[in-house]
Structure 1
């Protein structure tokens, strides 16, 4: 079911299937800023990545001597999430572990997803609760597809990705299967701007050691922007379909894909998060639209 929240600046829709962000419209000019899905390009819009981010080697991980199969980015995006509460400007969903999820992931959990409008910003918060009696392992991340170009009058060359601060980020490289190759390189040195073109996203760009609190997609000649906070996230992934960029995903992650040579042990997975019984983990992505 599609739900709507709004204020004087933004109108936002969310699909309860996957608790997936479905639409972000700037009321001032009626611009749609969220990728609307296209089966011939990329059918999703803003899937939740849980309980892991990226690809597993062979789509399998090992835990306490047992193998579990799990699709790329996990399963939270492929389940109906239950509505918890809704107001005019906020909405919260929950996904609880059940007999089906236990086949993919043995932990008892609750995953809350909350969307809340604050002026021209949309706060998207995940809360993971460990409902079991022992330590819980997981990763979680955002995968929001943002329209770029913003409208049909522009081309991708009219836009830049701009970090808040000058950066010298470390890029973690993947092989052709989408697994970490173990290679790293400096993406650029003391810069904050990535000039966009159709050839830039030949694969995912996984960046670490960023200092900026936010990164923006900016329309060069007008200053129109979409800003995404990345503060407190260890990794940020930039991704789009290669050769014909219609959207850009800015993806703050608490997790990573598998290494190419992994033995699949979940407790040894790079970027894995841990919470004790009864504890919870919270993270927030804020999307700000120019007013």
Structure 2
């Protein structure tokens, strides 16, 4: 089932499967990627309870080994619609028999979408519903993809990061794990967006020093644009397929990171994870602005 929200500027559609934002239109323009399975079969998946890949797609917790795919399982789970009005909807995923096979924790994950003029405000609220004494360990993030006609020649769009300053770039190896080799990436001026930008996998920048970071894609002819603003997120991923040419770019606020090549595999020492005590909850926020 698809939930439709509308206000004076936007019409958006959210699929109950994964609570995934699948369409955003403004003045007749569709912003979201169409999920063509020949390129990338998703629109804007939610990442939970991990971000990125696990080493060998597995981890250990309390002496037991668990297997989990890249970016976790929330994107492939059916959510419940717990409330809906014209410009807001709230979705819920709770632990179930399938998730417990991959992740031995009881949790509630609430996802809310709220329209405010030309903006979509997204809140991801995680609650530990485990028995007393069990800490919930998790990461979370978003992976929205926007339609951008990519070429190997003239740029079709520009990417701007605010604040405009150098950022530490997290390097990924061929296995999708982070390496020990990092570099500083200059974002003091807009970056031309072409297919070649994505050679070597996603660009991941460390934004932990900024309480709010905004990434903006704008068409070269300035006919449309979209901004993604993260609130207290750790990283931003910037991705499209390579070497396949696909007409989308993802701007991804992350509160977590993939395993490194040197991790032990123990969940307790996995980098980028949050913890919540029994009964505690935490909300993570980002905003999308369409123009």
Q: TM-score, normalised by structure 2?
A: 0.93
Tell me how far 1:156 sits from its aligned partner. 6.8
> CA 1:100–1:282 in 2, change beyond 3 Å: closer, same or farther?
same
Gaps of 5+ in 2: none
> CA 1:38–1:5 in 2, change beyond 3 Å: closer, same or farther?
same
Contact in 1 for aligned 2:231/2:284 (Cα 8 Å): no
| Structure 1 counterpart of 2:216 | 216
Tell me how far 1:147 sits from its aligned partner. 1.1
Contact in 1 for aligned 2:148/2:156 (Cα 8 Å): no
1:166-181 equivalences under 5 Å are 166-181=164-179
Deviation string, structure 1 residues 65-122 (Cα, Å, up to 9, x no partner) = 1111101100011111011010011111100011221111111100001111001001
Contact in 2 for aligned 1:148/1:156 (Cα 8 Å): no
Aligned: 1:66 with 2:67:
no
Contact in 2 for aligned 1:156/1:245 (Cα 8 Å): no
Deviation string, structure 1 residues 126-182 (Cα, Å, up to 9, x no partner) = 1000011221100000000011139xxxx8713101112221100111110100112
Divergent runs of 4+, >4 A: none
1:86-101 equivalences under 5 Å are 86-101=84-99
Tell me how far 1:17 sits from its aligned partner. 0.7
1:1-291 equivalences under 5 Å are 1-26=1-26, 28=27, 30-132=28-130, 133=132, 134-149=134-149, 157-188=155-186, 191-202=188-199, 203-209=201-207, 211=210, 213-222=213-222, 224-243=224-243, 244-290=245-291
> CA 1:156–1:278 in 2, change beyond 3 Å: closer, same or farther?
farther
Q: TM-score, normalised by structure 1?
A: 0.93
Tell me how far 1:195 sits from its aligned partner. 1.0
Tell me how far 1:223 sits from its aligned partner. 6.0
> CA 1:20–1:234 in 2, change beyond 3 Å: closer, same or farther?
same
Contact in 2 for aligned 1:84/1:92 (Cα 8 Å): yes
Deviation string, structure 1 residues 205-231 (Cα, Å, up to 9, x no partner) = 111036453110012332631011023
Partners in 2 of 1:219 and 1:228 — Cα distance?
15
Partners in 1 of 2:222 and 2:34 — Cα distance?
23
Partners in 2 of 1:129 and 1:76 — Cα distance?
14
Contact in 2 for aligned 1:214/1:227 (Cα 8 Å): yes
Gaps of 5+ in 1: none
